[in-house]
Amino acid sequence: MHHRGKIVSRTELTEHIYDQDFDRESNTIEVFVGRLRKKLGADYIHTVRGLGYRLAPPDEKDEPSPKK
Rounded mean pLDDT, 19-27:
70
- Number of C-beta neighbours around residue 20 at 10 A: 6
Average pLDDT, the chain: 79
Phi/psi-derived region of residue 14, left when phi > 0, alpha when psi is between -120 and 50, beta in every other case? alpha
CA atoms of 12 and 8, how far apart (whole Å): 6
* pLDDT score of 49: 93
**Is 58 or 34 the better-scoring residue by pLDDT?**
34
Q: Which class does domain 7-58 fall in?
A: mainly alpha
Question: What is the pLDDT at residue 41?
Answer: 87
* Sign, CA torsion 45/2/63/65: negative
User: Does pLDDT of 6 surpass 70?
Assistant: yes
pLDDT value at 60 more than 80:
no
Pairing of strands 52-55, 7-8: antiparallel
According to the model, what pLDDT value does residue 68 have?
Answer: 47
